[in-house]
Amino acid sequence: MPDALAFVVNGEPRSLEVEGRTLLVHALREGLGLTGAHIGCDTSQCGACTVLLDGRAVKSCTVLAHQADGREITTIEGLARNGEMHPLQRAFVEHHGLQCGFCTPGVILTAADLLSRDASPSDEAIRHALRGNLCRCTGYQGIVESIRAAGALS
């Protein structure tokens, strides 16, 4: 039996009916049309579905939609403001932080959590924070440089 949930997504109140088993990533993608949270694995390992829940990075494939009821969610679609890219998005463009881009939304939201705790993280701290985000294109050097640059901007 579906239940009605209400949460704030990218700053706007949204409501949705979901089943008990519905994962947050499915609620976002299929219920709200926010397809920026990607599904890259079945095992909670890849981090492509990472979103911010009350400001903290979580894998939306490993949260029941019900658990997000009444809380604030930020997806990649919510980072740009008034048509201006978020500093992390700009840094990823400028520093070649992506190739195919599939992992990028999750990587950027994980980085947003990191930079909210530490605006100038060491490369070691950046790499430690990226442990739950897999990039299969070309390695992490460009990603680390992008996050370091975004930290310096903010």
Partner 1 sequence: MIPAATAYARATDLDHALELLAEPDAKAIAGGQSLIPVMKLRIARPSLVVDISRLGLRGVAERDGELHIGPLTTWSDLIDAEPLGRPALAAIAECARGIGDVQVRNLGTVGGSVAHADPASDMPAVLLALGARLELRSPAGAREAALADVLLGPFTTALGLQELVTDIVIPLPETGSGSAYASVEHPASGFALAGAAALSTPAGETVALTGVGSTPFVLPEGDLREAIAAAEIFGDRFASDVYRRELAAVVAERALATARERAKEDA
Give the residues lining the site for partner 1 (CB under 8 A).
1, 3, 19-21, 23, 26, 42-44, 47, 50, 53, 56-59, 61-64, 66-67, 69, 110, 113-114, 128-129, 131-133
Residue 26's alpha-carbon distances to 23, 71, 90, 120, 123, in angstroms, are 5, 17, 28, 34, 33
| CB 3 to partner 1: min, Å | 7
Nearest CB to partner 1, comparing residues 71 and 90: 71
Residue 101's alpha-carbon distances to 5, 16, 20, 105, 137, in angstroms, are 31, 28, 31, 8, 9
| CB 83 to partner 1: min, Å | 29
Task: Count Cβ neighbours within 10 Å for each residue of 142-152 and write b for 16 or more, e otherwise.
Answer: bbbbbbbbbbe
Nearest CB to partner 1, comparing residues 17 and 84: 17
Nearest CB to partner 1, comparing residues 3 and 84: 3
